[in-house]
Each structure stands twice: as structure tokens, then as C-alpha cells.
Structure 1
Amino acid sequence: MGSEQIRRWESGALAHAVTDPFGLGPVPWLRGSETYFDDTGHVVPWYVDTEAPQPAAGGSRIPAPRSTPRTRPRTDPGPRSADDVHRQIKGFTSTGAAAPGDSIDFHVTVDPPQEFSVDIYRIGHYGGDGASKITTSPRLSGIVQPPPLTADRTVSCHHWWLSWRLQIPSYWNVGAYVAVLTTLDGYRSHVPFTVRDHQTADLLLLLPDITWQAYNLYPEDGHTGASLYHAWDKDGRLLGEADAATTVSFDRPYAGAGLPLHVGHAYDFIRWAERYGYDLAYADARDLHAGRVDPTRYRGLVFPGHDEYWSPQMRRTTELAREHGTSLVFLSANTMYWQVELGPSPSGVADRLLTCRKRRGPGKPVLWREIDRPEQQLIGIQYAGRVPEPHPLIVRNADHWLWEATGAHDGDEVEGMVAGEADRYFPRTPLPEHQDRILLAHSPYPDSEGVLRHQETSLYRAPSGALVFASGTFAWSPALDRPGHVDPRVQRATANLLDRICKHD
């Protein structure tokens, strides 16, 4: 297939990315002794921001593709991003988060067959590098795995052979990790995974792997791939939500360069929080669903990125944590919008299939607000809609302790902070029980039809004493540590919040 067709098929990722003006964010393994060039021969910066957003039909702006930067011309032997058409190298893990002492199984396809290696990076501040290389695999033998299996638009690679088993040493730190797969001839792809343990910490960071999978369109080949949002018809045309999958599998690579859409939001928070020494534990959304973590052991739960898809078990566990006195920090928008079910893979492995019927098929509606359990009853605000262009966040109640030492005053504008998607308070929707409650921003913006709407940032204290904060915008985490998006007022406000949650008596 020609490169023009590949770019056309990547429109599936771009269609999702309309709601996220921030793109992938820093990719630290592009930094260092390796040199990357774009198509004009210029050096590509280590953070991914090589193209300005392009206008799309209807006037919205579509960010650059969510892959690594455009790399060397094909005649150059340096690293290049693999794609879903040629599948030069693609992989996934058949386990979720794992603890030190456990193992993680990698299933990798390499076409043409050749040796490949795996570099393991841990995301963190690391003196501004953004990640640190932890280990490198030996040279591994790559094979062409069978094509993905499909049934009713569900795409699965659970039948792929095991390629490499990583035994996690007992001394590894918990955290967010990325495996960088590189072929002998220089093609590269990525596999994210999480290392968790059961040690108590001040804050438990929950990575939204369920939402990541909901948006995964692998393979973006114009033929096979499907997410909960898109699929293709027989002529290679991208179809919308009405024709998308209702069940997607975790047993497949992520589309494009192998990193999930919106993953950068979580990494932004991690780099900032580790820089300032916050005591973090790590888990993913499926750990919360399956009861593998006890949230009541932590002073706060942090949901750092786009976390749209929640199972009933996730919600109940989070509600119990709040009732126990564990604070909740939601740093994005459109959180807990859809209710989902998790089921076993065809081989019987638990929680490898994600189902969300949306408004199709038998059964109840699966919007939480349509089953009399609106998200506002937990979060304090709820999803209001997309924000076509970034707009300022307008500070409200600047004398509150959250805004202390930020220099903010009522009515001040924090540029570009209302972006992607936005939440607000719905007056006719019940609020959670609370001792006190306050709105800390009220920000007008026009929607795609020019109708004036508004975003709000919320904080309330539950009867248990737990604080529940909701930023109400996609832009909060990028403002902490994203090149070109950092805002010191947001950094200080976030520190005020976490310091109060983590305060040791």
C-alpha cells in the first residue's frame, strides 16, 4: 500500500483526536544519542509537536497524527515508526498490570521476519528527560504472526505466539512503563504496561487502560480494525459509531505507533508529580475493576487522564473509598460517562474483552446518567460537550485555598485551559452528599454550532472528610508538564490540592 493510503487510513485516529488538541506529548526515548529527522532533513525535537493542527471539515482543528514524529526517509537506516498496514513490528502484552516478581508476556509480530530488541523505559521526571531506560532485552527472533481474528467487528490477536517473557525484578520501582520494540532494520513500535505493588502510598494513580482500549482502532489498515467509535466498510471508508464494534479486545496492539490515544495526559501528571516528590502507587483501571487494589489504603486516588469508560465495580469501589475518607482527584473531563462490562477472552483469561453496547442491541442504556446514576453524584460535575477550539479558564472564588499563592484573581483568564472536552454543574441533577462545595472556575466557550456554553471546575468535601476535585477540562494535566502548555498557576493549584490531601498529622 502507498503512503497516501496509510495516511488516509490514519484518519481513524485523527477522528478521535479532534477532542484532544494536545496530541501524544513528550516521547523521551527520541532524546539522546539517536538523531531523528523529518522529511525536510531537519532534526525533530524530542517532544512531539512537529505539525500545526490542520483544519478539518466543519471547521474543527485536527492535531497531527498520534504517532512518533515523521522520521528519516525510507533510504535512511535510522528508526522509523511501524504502521498497521505493513505491520513491520507490532506487539501487546497478554497481562495487565504486574507486580515486581511477576512476569509480563509480550506477543510480537515482525514482518519481514528478523531479529528485534525491546528497550524498557519508565516514565518519570528524571531530570527533565521524561523517562529512563531500565533494561534492554537480548536479541529476539521475530516471526510473522497470524492475521488478527475478527467476529462481529471484534478484533483479537489472542492466538499470537509468545515472543518474550519479561521477569520483573523485585527491585524495580512501581510506575508507568513503555516497551519500545525495534527491528534490526530500524522499525519501531511501543507497548505500554504498568508495574504495581501492594505497598501503601499517599496517592494511588489509576491509569485509564479501559478507556484507552475503547478508542483503539487497531489495525488501522482501512479494512479490519474497529474501536467503540469506528470501523471500515468494504470500500475502506471510515464508519461512525453506529457501525462500530460493541466489544473490543485487549489482546491486540494499539494502533499506529503503539501508544494509546490520550496516554500523554497521564504521563504529563506523572512527570510533574514525581519531580516534586509525591508518594505514588500505580495501578490501572482493570485493577480497580477486579479488586486487585484496595483504594481505602491511600489518602487519595488520582485519575490523571481521559477516563470515560467505567464498570459498575469501578464505580462502587471508588464510592466506597470516598465514604472511607479517601479523596478523589479527577484531572480531565468526560469521566465515567459510559458504563461497560469486562469479560474473559476466548481462552478464558479474565477481563480481556470490553463491551459497551451504547444505544444498540438489547439491555438497558449504558450512559450512567440514563440509569439514574449520573456521574455528577460522584464527581460533582459532569460532561457537557466538546470544545472545538481552546478557550481561557476563568477563575472563580480566587480567595479559596486551592488558588492560594497562584496570583490568580476572580475573573483572571488562564489561556487555553478549556480544551478538548468540558464538564459543568447541572442544576437539575442531584449532587453528592457534601459538607461544603465550591466552583473554582466558570468559563464560557462556543460549541461547534456557535451556542455559548460553559465549563466549570468543582471541589467538594464529602461527609467522610474526603475531598473530591474535578478539573472539568482535558487541559489540566498538560498544564502541569507538557512543553508549550505549562501554566504555573495550575501547577501551584494542583500542589495546594495534593498537599492538603497528603498532609500527615
Structure 2
Amino acid sequence: MGAEQIRRWESGALAHAVTDPFGQGPLPWLRGSEHYVDATGQVVPWYAEPDRDRGARGPRTADDVHRQIKGFAASGAVAPGQAIDFHITVDPPQQFSVDIYRIGHYAGAGAFKIITSPRLAGIVQPAPLAADRTVSCHHWWLSWRLQVPSHWAVGAHVAVLTTADGYRSHIPFTVRDDRPADLLLVLPDITWQAYNLYPEDGRTGASFYHAWDDNGRLLGERDAAVTVSFDRPYAGAGLPLHVGHAYDFIRWAERYGYDIAYADARDLHAGRVDATRYRGLVFPGHDEYWSVPMRRTVESARDQGTSLVFLSANSLYWQVELGPSPSGVPDRLLSCRKRRGPGKASLWREIDRAEQQLLGIQYAGQVPEPHPLVVRNAEHWLWEATGAGEGDELTGLVAGEADRYFPRTALPEHRRRILLAHSPYRDGSGALRHQETSLYRAPSGALVFASGTFAWSPALDRPGHVDSRIQRATANLLDRICKRD
């Protein structure tokens, strides 16, 4: 099957629907900012894919086959006062512009437009380079350099790329600083890249999960990449598969005024942030891939009194290594052996450092259909004022993937430990399994919370998934970490 004939259900993005039932959503963080009228007179948001047969007006999503507009940032997180370089391809060549948004609550809008670039000249960049399933665009020319003003607020940002003829794509990036704050939000850019199948063209793209054969069929992990590059766009619309989980938490947390600093996972890896300066580290979304320095940094912070909050499931599962790009830029290549070839195992639990030794629980498996989260130990302060009682079922709150306590696996050192949910569900084979939510206090006094489900962050601020009991439980946790009254 040629690239032009790829059907949507054969795409790599949709192949992950079972592990992330929430997906990106309809980009609700930009809802209402701009509208267009379709051929029937109905108002449609700009991010909606128009029905071209009906002549709808408005931006259309770029794709990896035609590469109408695609791009990536040439660095990780940047601090105010630093510059970030964008490498962008435009086909056919034409002018384009870049709108920079910051993710936040913003009275329900979900994001705020900070600046718009001048009209820029777009060119067709060279085809991506591929070697042994590793795809890189490090040879693309610089398209636009953004000098981040010193007065910009730190946070999660998105560059929205728009061509003159109305195609759009996205580039996520982070603005960080090293000021003290109550909480440090760690965006899982390493895991985002592990899932990135760019280019999703039926020929070249590869992630740690998929690649294509010569007939355009999607292959599985055994034939996937061992090394992937940060020097390439994200597939499809240009946003990572699991980005919505982080944005859900950000919107909710900024609405309620939590004092948050921001960083990427690669900042923890490279030691660019001092994790001990914060009362708590928050891992808001799917955070499956960790390097040795990341884990060492986080464990050290916990042992010095910094609390840890894991709001998703399947965290700290695969061990990865980071290396320089061909041009020598640090931390631009990400490697994970998985189950291919000789060498040491890449699962943390297979090298006698199971994730439960940090999280208190660990990955148990996929949850094909959403199930209720069943409350346990409802008298605990986490459930205080939530209205949740012992044995109450919170509908749909066990979904995507689930963690649980493994009795034969070592626990971390702790003063006190409690399981706050015990939820039965059926796996893909129909077998009965269970999910658990964990909280323990380390000898240092640090709290370590693990939700054990993909559905926790979406319950904070995702339209159609909000649960006020989860909102209050999360506030109870963060307030105690931040020592609020």
C-alpha cells in the first residue's frame, strides 16, 4: 500500500488508542480563540478539520505525507532571556506565520496567545534522513529564532504554525526557570518522543513501538526503532500523543493558583534543575521512559524531603539512554533496547530496580474498557471533603493503563503506607485484574503518591471527564505538600 493510500485506522497514532483513550482531544485549550463558518453557515473552531467537499473555510491540519507545514524546536526547555530555534518545512514554498501560546486556565480559554511572528519565508526542507530506523531532520535549515523575553512567564508553550493557504501544525516547547517554587511540573518529553512515529507516511517513520514495511503496513515493537531523534517534528498535527494529560493538569492547577515551576524530563536527566528546591515534583502524564540520571535525581530529592506526585500509570517502566546528535548537540538521541538483540534488559524491574521501589506500586497492564475506581480507606485525609465513601465507585476512572501493588516486589522504605483505591477490571483476555492507588511517607517526610490510572489527570479539567472528587483529592494532596491551610 502506498503512502497516499494509508487509511486512518492503520496509522501509528490510532494504534495507541487502546493505551490512551483520552488522546489529545479537540485541542480544547485553544477553543474559542478563532472561528470560521462552514458552507452550511455553522460556526466551527479553527482547529477542526474542515469538510473539504463542503467547501468549509479555515485552517486544515498538515500531515506527514504532504508535509504542508511541519517543524521542531532545536533545543529542550529554554529560560527567559534565551533563544529557541525552530526548523520548519513548507510545501509548496510560501509564507507562514507562528503564533506562540502559553498553556494555562485563562478564564477557561485554556491558552493565551503571547505573540505572532512576522510573515516568514517557507522553504521545502530536505527529506528526513533515516538510518537503521532512526529518523532525523538535524540537517534542516534554521527557519526562525525566537528570543524569549526576560519577562515571559515560565510554562508549557505551543508554537502554532500556519501557512498562507491555511494549513496548520504545532511545536510544543517549555520555558523554564530556576526560581524556588512550591511545585516543579516535569513535562514527559522523553516519553513523548518514544511514541513519535514521524514521519507517519507509510514508509520512513519509526518510534519505539512501530515502523513500516515496504508495503506500507504498520509493524510492531520487534521491528521498531532502537534509537529515535528529538530533531524531527511530532507526527500528525505536531503534538505528542499523550500531551493532553499534562495540559489537563496545568489548566486545573493554574486555575487554583498553585505556585509552579516548569521543566522537561531532559532537564532532570542533565541536572539543569535542582529538584531539592521544591516541596514537590509533579509528573502529570504518561511518563514511561526514564534514564538512570533521572531516577537518581528524583530518588535523591525524595530522600531530602521533596514529595513526588505521579498522576498517571505506567511510569518509570523502560530504562533509556540519551546521546548527542550527529552535530554534537547533547541529549538529542534517545535509545531503548527493549527486546531486540543482546545486552542488558531495559525494563527497570528486570535489573532489580523495579518501579515499585520508588512509586509504591507498578505497571500491571492495559485496561481495554474504562472501569470504576473503587475507593478504599475513605477516612484518609486524601478523600476528605470529596464526598467519596468506602467502596464508592468513581465511574470511568480506571482507564487506559493501570498500576497495582506487587506483593513479591520490594517496597520503598517508608514510615507509613496506604492504598487508597482497589478497583477490579477485565483485561484484554477477559481475566479479572485490579488497579490500586498508592500513597506513602518516606523516612525523609516526603509524600509519594501514584494514581495508578491514566484517567486521573483528565478528571481534573478534560471536558467530559471532570470528576469533582478527583479534583478535591488532588487539591488535598497538593495542599498538604505545599503546607497550605
Q: What interval of TM-score do these two structures reach, taking the shorter chain for normalisation? A: over 0.9
TM-score in terms of structure 2 length = 0.97
Residues 11-68 of structure 1, C-alpha deviations (whole Å, 9 max, x = no match): 211112221111213343342332275x98754468xxxxxxxxxxxxxxxxxxxxx5
| Aligned residue in 2 for 1:59 | none
Cα distance between partner residues in 1 of 2:389 and 2:57: 54
Q: What letter is aligned with 1:7?
A: R
Q: What letter is aligned with 1:70?
A: E
Residues 190-249 of structure 1, C-alpha deviations (whole Å, 9 max, x = no match): 000000001000000000000000000000000010000000001101000000000000
Shift, 1:2, TM fit: 9.6
For structure 1, list consecutive stretches of 5 or more residues without a partner in the other structure.
47-67
Cα distance between partner residues in 2 of 1:17 and 1:69: 19
Q: What letter is aligned with 2:24?
A: L
The 5 Å alignment of 1:154-165 reads 154-165=134-145
| Aligned residue in 2 for 1:441 | 421
Cα distance between partner residues in 2 of 1:424 and 1:9: 31
Answer whether contact 2:33 2:109 (CA < 8 A) is retained.
Answer: no
| Aligned residue in 1 for 2:76 | 96
Q: Does 1:331 align with 2:300?
A: no
Q: Does 1:33 align with 2:4?
A: no
Answer whether contact 2:62 2:70 (CA < 8 A) is retained.
Answer: yes
Cα distance between partner residues in 2 of 1:441 and 1:78: 46
Match of 2:106 among 126, 149, 167: 126
2:262 match: secondary structure: strand
| Aligned residue in 1 for 2:399 | 419
Q: Does 1:69 align with 2:69?
A: no
Q: Does 1:498 align with 2:478?
A: yes
Residues 468-495 of structure 1, C-alpha deviations (whole Å, 9 max, x = no match): 0000000000000000000000000000
Answer whether contact 1:10 1:256 (CA < 8 A) is retained.
Answer: no
| Aligned residue in 2 for 1:396 | 376
Answer whether contact 1:439 1:458 (CA < 8 A) is retained.
Answer: yes
Answer whether contact 1:457 1:471 (CA < 8 A) is retained.
Answer: yes
Against the structure 1 CA distance between its residues 8 and 214, is the aligned structure 2 distance closer, same or farther, given a 3 Å change threshold?
same
Residues 164-199 of structure 1, C-alpha deviations (whole Å, 9 max, x = no match): 000000000000000000000000000000000010
| Aligned residue in 2 for 1:479 | 459
Answer whether contact 1:338 1:368 (CA < 8 A) is retained.
Answer: yes
Answer whether contact 2:37 2:57 (CA < 8 A) is retained.
Answer: no
Q: What letter is aligned with 2:381?
A: W
Match of 2:193 among 206, 213, 227: 213
Cα distance between partner residues in 1 of 2:450 and 2:213: 39
Q: Does 1:382 align with 2:372?
A: no
Answer whether contact 2:3 2:216 (CA < 8 A) is retained.
Answer: no
Match of 1:235 among 215, 223, 236: 215
Cα distance between partner residues in 1 of 2:238 and 2:14: 15
Against the structure 1 CA distance between its residues 491 and 30, is the aligned structure 2 distance closer, same or farther, given a 3 Å change threshold?
closer
1:492 match: secondary structure: helix
Answer whether contact 2:312 2:453 (CA < 8 A) is retained.
Answer: yes
Identity %: 81
Q: What letter is aligned with 1:405?
A: A
1:188 match: secondary structure: strand
Cα distance between partner residues in 1 of 2:233 and 2:385: 44
1:252 match: secondary structure: coil
Shift, 1:78, TM fit: 1.7
Cα distance between partner residues in 1 of 2:306 and 2:160: 35
For structure 2, list consecutive stretches of 5 or more residues without a partner in the other structure.
none
Flag as ranges the 4+ runs of structure 1 deviating above 4 A: 1-4, 39-46, 74-77
Q: What letter is aligned with 1:284?
A: D
Q: Does 1:371 align with 2:372?
A: no
Shift, 1:362, TM fit: 2.7
Match of 1:463 among 435, 443, 448: 443
- Which sits farther off after the overlay, 444-453 or 3-12? 3-12
| Aligned residue in 1 for 2:7 | 7
TM-score in terms of structure 1 length = 0.93
Shift, 1:361, TM fit: 2.0
| Aligned residue in 1 for 2:20 | 20
The 5 Å alignment of 1:196-211 reads 196-211=176-191
Q: What letter is aligned with 2:32?
A: R
Cα distance between partner residues in 1 of 2:43 and 2:484: 47
Against the structure 1 CA distance between its residues 390 and 89, is the aligned structure 2 distance closer, same or farther, given a 3 Å change threshold?
same
Task: Indicate the RMSD between aligned Cα atoms, in angstroms.
Answer: 1.7
Answer whether contact 2:210 2:223 (CA < 8 A) is retained.
Answer: yes
Shift, 1:76, TM fit: 4.4
| Aligned residue in 2 for 1:149 | 129
Answer whether contact 1:107 1:163 (CA < 8 A) is retained.
Answer: yes
Cα distance between partner residues in 2 of 1:2 and 1:269: 40
Answer whether contact 1:72 1:78 (CA < 8 A) is retained.
Answer: no
| Aligned residue in 1 for 2:65 | 85
